A and B are shown apart, each in its own frame.
Chain A
Amino acid sequence: DAGVTQSPTHLIKTRGQQVTLRCSPKSGHDTVSWYQQALGQGPQFIFQYYEEEERQRGNFPDRFSGHQFPNYSSELNVNALLLGDSALYLCASRQYNEQFFGPGTRLTVL
């Protein structure tokens, strides 16, 4: 049984560009959350998707948006990239009271 998978592993973009990150949840999990982890910091909650709708959102600007598909997979989109968006982006899927994290996508904005 595959765990949470994310793609791509690494990504380099320039300021002002747009990026899309992808996540496939653990089999049987229907809820997907996204987190941003800056270097040396703990992960920060961005938002959570359930039944294809954003159910909860952290303190992130509207440049951060997402989507969940009928197969529960999810995308994170970031528009108008800033240097400060450089971070490890983590996806977590949840069933009942356990959340499992993927390996993350390392985004570097130049």
Chain B
Amino acid sequence: DAKTTQPTSMDCAEGRAANLPCNHSTISGNEYVYWYRQIHSQGPQYIIHGLKNNETNEMASLIITEDRKSSTLILPHATLRDTAVYYCIAPVNPLSEGAQKLVFGQGTRLTINP
């Protein structure tokens, strides 16, 4: 798995877009970018993932740079319930044999302020 680097903490005002950066400069061609979040003492919640194209779902958007060395998770209209630890993970192609474990770092503690 590629090593990922995230800021330790971030703040965002309620209603504004929250932009969470992740650096994965050593990522290789078959490594995806996954984002999970964990609200205090609950299991991690899957948000979104991508390989090289930008992705959007009902929760968030994922912007991956053309060189794939970094990405940004965007929560378009942050609410207080989005306060959580956000993890950026770059596992090897999950469709390949024996490559589905997720290696979590420390993540970014995002606080949404009223």
Contact = CB atoms under 8 A, between A and B. Distances in A.
Interface string B90-111: 0000110010111111110000
B103 A45 contact: yes
B48 to A, nearest CB: 10
B44 interface: yes
A43 to B, nearest CB: 5
Most interface-central of B43, B46, B49, B98 (chain A CB within 10 A): B43
Contacts of B103: 45
B100 A31 contact: yes
Contacts of A96: 94-95
Interface residues of B, number: 21
B101 A101 contact: no
A55 B104 CA distance: 19
Contacts of B98: 55-56
A42 B101 contact: no
A101 B42 CA distance: 9
Interface residues of A, number: 27
Nearest to B97: A55
Given A42-B106, A96-B95, A101 B44 contact: yes
A76 interface: no
Contact of A100 (B41, B46, B101): B46
A104 interface: yes
Interface string A77-110: 0000000000010101010111111111010000
13 contacts: A33-B102, A41-B106, A42-B104, A43-B44, A43-B102, A45-B103, A48-B101, A55-B98, A92-B102, A101-B43, A101-B46, A104-B41, A104-B43
Closest 8 CB pairs of A and B: A42-B104, A101-B43, A97-B94, A45-B101, A101-B44, A43-B104, A103-B43, A104-B43
